[in-house]
Chains A and B, each alone.
Chain A
């Protein structure tokens, strides 16, 4: 009776997990599949298969430049988030100062404020800065990098603080008692122990910056669009498998990143 019950619960649970995975994975499979259709206009069923859409995506300068702009912006934003997020995480986890909770909430807020709201707020802010100082930020790569750093930072902080909290403080004291000065303890003990958190934080910071559309849409210049904006622009006048090809390349990129990361730092341990 009991065994039967737990068996049916297990079957139900497995079915539910499969359904969830199916919901997530099926659309991805369809995107990859349709990127090979030879239909001139995206439709079902496929009339044949071709690699032309990949050639076309690469040939279009909007996509090619968008890809490299996105790549560069996201990389810089990740580095910025790392440089700010690591010390911030230490302060948040180890520090005992007034208003710590507030600082934490503010730093995490870009994650919960809708991108459109955050993006327009930044845009207005940049205009004010320009008005007051004559210094142009909106539409420049600096403005874009600032926005993307804001996207990346909370991911970095969330994952780094999580791994920092789980560090047993005694191991740092043990290192001290064995003769290590504070900086040595940091580089030889603390940093290696939180490495999975740092790697996972960088990865998620990078990905979330790379796939951002809403914040960037306010901040790109006329001839410097990120990949996601190039996609939206393209969709306005075209409906063919080029977008499938571009999406497939992104899926592949992110998958490879996840696999590489998982090899060097077990991602499941970072959460």
Chain B
């Protein structure tokens, strides 16, 4: 399986920039998820790789072969669309056979490959149905079989799960991952759902406003977001503005106090300390041995069953969110809204992220 390399790829629509100078290498057999909010350019990037959108500049190579100017029918890529895009006038088997027919594969080989492909997605008994006689999940599996049967160099998927319900999505996610692994397919997967990206991808590409924000394995990106956007998108509500003190030992909050730090990456100038709600402990009385502590008042208390989320207005004017284990599971007693509380966290908690 070949790798895919994007070199300074850009797409402009008149003055609007959909994708700005994007460079990325997707390794042989790797599954990469393009992740980002709506309108950040994920689909545009995928469609440029598939050949459906012309690049404004830059070059795309697959296994060293420049495909930038090739039409989609000569790229040998499997594309799975959000709305399945099955041919409504053809049966399931005819849909899957279409790509083989275009390649001039003979009748008996086609029949065999179609059967194998349908078995692989567990739809062998539906071969003679029309697409409209299938459920959404089944249609998506036909689309997958149709894209895989041509033995593509690259598999491209644009939000393949977003039209499915939650349990089916979970199932399909695992199925896609397993197929991809067993075939060793170089795969690019577009999604705006971070859980989906984290649980399927070898690497995530976080995009924002047509640019790559951060690339890396899911645990790395999740554990160490590098920008305010990345931190916010990955669900970190606590972003404390300030500046690192020399030696990375302290963090001067713009609101005044200095926090203790330990082990965070150095960032020059104005930056943010990103704290996940889970690392912050909440106390009804001032804790004695906390490395960092802020006092405040509970504004909102949300009970989630296994956890309780508190939103606090601190005395220095910052609003922070803390997540505690529910009282029944060993967590602290519930603190009612309006009551006074203290938040604490260790010096090693949190990551420093640059302003943009």
Kindly state the interface size class of chain B when it binds its partner.
20 to 34
B85 touches A171 (CB 8 A): yes
A168 at the interface (CB under 8 A from B): yes
As a 0/1 sequence over residues 161 to 177 of chain A, the CB contacts with chain B under 8 angstroms (1 = contact) are 00000001011011111
B73 touches A177 (CB 8 A): yes
Q: Given the known A-B contacts A177-B50, A179-B150, A180-B102, are A170 and B81 also in contact in the complex, defined by CB atoms under 8 Å?
A: yes
The number of A-B residue pairs with CB atoms under 8 Å apart is: 65
Considering the complex, give the chain B residue whose CB is closest to the CB of A177: B79
A192 at the interface (CB under 8 A from B): yes
Q: Given the known A-B contacts A184-B102, A192-B89, A193-B89, are A177 and B83 also in contact in the complex, defined by CB atoms under 8 Å?
A: no
In the bound complex, residues from chain A placing their C-beta under 8 Å from that of B74 are 179
B73 touches A181 (CB 8 A): yes
Considering the complex, give the chain A residue whose CB is closest to the CB of B50: A177
In the bound complex, residues from chain A placing their C-beta under 8 Å from that of B50 are 173, 177
Bound complex: CA A168 to CA B131 (Å): 14
A: number of interface residues (CB 8 Å):
18
B286 at the interface (CB under 8 A from A): no
Bound complex: CA A179 to CA B79 (Å): 11
In the bound complex, residues from chain B placing their C-beta under 8 Å from that of A174 are 79, 81, 85-87, 143, 146
B73 touches A180 (CB 8 A): yes
Considering the complex, give the chain A residue whose CB is closest to the CB of B79: A177
In the bound complex, residues from chain B placing their C-beta under 8 Å from that of A189 are 87
Considering the complex, give the chain B residue whose CB is closest to the CB of A184: B102
Contact of A168 among B78, B85, B99, B150 (CB under 8 A): B85
Contact of B87 among A175, A176, A181, A195 (CB under 8 A): A175
Contact of B83 among A168, A176, A178, A192 (CB under 8 A): A168
A179 touches B102 (CB 8 A): yes
A178 touches B85 (CB 8 A): no
Bound complex: CA A195 to CA B89 (Å): 10
B141 at the interface (CB under 8 A from A): no
Considering the complex, give the chain A residue whose CB is closest to the CB of B149: A178
B112 at the interface (CB under 8 A from A): no
User: Would you give the shortest CB distance from B213 to chain A, in whole angstroms?
Assistant: 28
Considering the complex, give the chain A residue whose CB is closest to the CB of B82: A170
In the bound complex, residues from chain B placing their C-beta under 8 Å from that of A175 are 87, 98
- 23 residue pairs bridging A and B, Cβ less than 8 Å apart: A168-B85, A170-B81, A171-B85, A171-B87, A171-B88, A173-B50, A173-B72, A174-B81, A174-B86, A174-B143, A174-B146, A175-B87, A176-B73, A177-B75, A178-B98, A178-B147, A178-B150, A179-B102, A180-B98, A180-B102, A184-B102, A193-B87, A193-B88
User: Which 8 pairs of residues, A with B, have the shortest CB-CB distance?
Assistant: A179-B102, A178-B99, A170-B85, A177-B79, A176-B72, A174-B85, A170-B81, A192-B89
A residues with CB within 8 A of B: 168, 170-171, 173-181, 184, 188-189, 192-193, 195
